[in-house]
């Protein structure tokens, strides 16, 4: 039996009828948590477009999602560090699916580094991936959302910014900044009916995490700190994203929703 494509949920998502036909744009949708977002929104009948650097997994995901849902996502190859290319991808998505109703800034790179090893270029590269696109995608999507008087922006952060985890300080700094950006945008865009929230995953067992960093010892330490003693999946994050994008969250903006099994409590 062929291995299951990353991003395809093990069980059907609950149906949220207000998401049917919505134009959704997702960064980093080709693998990891983002792939689950792609499947989740396609399962609602949304018109999903996503960008990713990883072409082979992205194309396999499109095939799998189309087979599962009857909705084929639009994959646009893109390096989100190149803002002109990213904005062009958003324009292409809007041209094919209608102006963007739901924007999910998910793409990230958690490459390990230390304070003393990271040079100026490495610092800039981390922020160019993990923070800068969140501002400029919102800037690009907001005018059309304002015209419609509605829209939802979900910025994906990380609980590492609350735990003070070592080993990737530039990444942690960017993820902390995302929450401040979400609150500032929520305040600015709220009068136009646009909601902006942060979704904060814990340690999600994606293929990348399992390949690079998950060990028995590290996982045991993480689970010991969680109130809920199960590992976190991409599906768990996708359920939260569906909620934040839907009318069930119609009066929720500027908030931070943790999906980390209770490792961080506020």
Which listed residue (13, 36, 168, 171) is catalytic?
171
Number of Cβ within 10 Å of residue 265's Cβ equals 8
8 A C-beta contact, residue 16 and residue 39: no
Task: Give yes or no: 171 in active site.
Answer: yes
CA distances (Å), 256 to each of 52, 236, 242, 265, in order? Answer: 25, 15, 15, 11
**Rounded Cα–Cα distance for residues 17 and 14 (Å):** 10
At residue 195, φ and ψ (nearest 5 deg) are -100, 140
**Rounded Cα–Cα distance for residues 160 and 149 (Å):** 34
Tell me which residues are annotated as active site: 171
């Amino acid at each position: 039996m062929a291995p299951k494509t990353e991003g395809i949920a093990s069980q059907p998502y609950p149906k949220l009828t207000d998401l049917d036909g919505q134009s959704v744009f997702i960064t980093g949708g080709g693998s990891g948590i983002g792939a689950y977002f792609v499947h989740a929104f396609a399962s609602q009948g949304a018109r999903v477009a996503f960008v990713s650097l990883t072409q082979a997994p992205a194309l396999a995901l499109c095939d799998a999602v189309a087979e599962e849902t009857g909705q084929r996502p639009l994959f646009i190859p893109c390096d989100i560090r190149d803002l002109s290319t990213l904005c062009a991808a958003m324009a292409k998505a809007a041209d094919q699916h209608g102006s963007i109703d739901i924007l999910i800034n998910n793409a990230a790179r958690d490459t390990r580094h230390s304070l003393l090893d990271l040079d100026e270029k490495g610092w800039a590269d981390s922020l160019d991936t993990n923070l800068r696109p969140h501002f400029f995608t919102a800037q690009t999507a907001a005018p059309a959302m304002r015209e419609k008087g509605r829209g939802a922006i979900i910025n994906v952060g990380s609980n590492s910014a609350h735990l003070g985890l070592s080993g990737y300080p530039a990444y942690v700094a960017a993820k902390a900044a995302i929450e401040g950006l979400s609150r500032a945008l929520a305040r600015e865009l709220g009068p136009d009916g646009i909601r902006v929230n942060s979704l904060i995953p814990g340690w999600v067992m994606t293929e990348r995490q399992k390949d690079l960093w998950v060990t028995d010892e590290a996982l045991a330490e993480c689970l010991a700190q969680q109130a809920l003693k199960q590992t976190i999946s991409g599906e768990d994050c996708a359920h939260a994203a569906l909620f934040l994008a839907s009318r069930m969250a119609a009066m929720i903006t500027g908030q931070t929703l943790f999906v980390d099994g209770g490792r961080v409590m506020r």
